[in-house]
Structure 1
């Protein structure tokens, strides 16, 4: 999912995808909090609920944007199930 598509897809992202994205990046909740400008207690609270990522739309956008900028692609439900992928960084 590109940053341009965040507003269209944000409501489809699940807490499991957020946790999986953090795992792929090796990030703690604190790391995500720092990079998204969302408090760590808020991230912990949102991740504690299973299902669609809740919270205020601007909070959800900040979280998803931080992960996308770090190289995460969110994979929508497409018959194979929701997921995340760590995109390869372009060679320098």
Structure 2
């Protein structure tokens, strides 16, 4: 069984790339905003099931989390997701 190892910094970066707020991501995961904030600030760790769900949601949105052999972490955003996030940010608020 492969453990999901998503770092809080990656989650914040992924949200920023997609233009998602903490409320947006928490709702998609089914997690309280406070729990997400605590994870993103390193106050609490996330359960393996929560990390799997988070990885799946981000993957569907075009984000892949990466880690190099030297241990550097990062993420990639698909071109389609990049274009969608740009369009989404340009839409006026209702």
TM-score by length of 1: 0.74
TM-score by length of 2: 0.72
Deviations 1:72-91 (A, max 9, x none): 0111123482101111229x
Please tell me whether the aligned partners of residues 21 and 72 of structure 1 are also in contact (alpha carbons under 8 angstroms): yes
Counterpart Cα distance in 2 of 1:37 and 1:68: 17
- Give the paired residue count: 81
- Residue 8 of structure 2 is matched in structure 1 by 15
Moved more, 57-66 or 80-89: 80-89
Give 5+ residue unaligned stretches, structure 2: 82-94
Bigger-Rg structure (1/2)? 2
Specify the SS of the correspondent of 1:84: strand
Give 5+ residue unaligned stretches, structure 1: 1-6
Counterpart Cα distance in 2 of 1:86 and 1:35: 18
Of 69, 80, 83 in structure 1, the residue corresponding to residue 60 of structure 2 is: 69
Q: Which has the higher contact order (CA 8 A, sep 6+)?
A: 1
Specify the SS of the correspondent of 1:8: coil
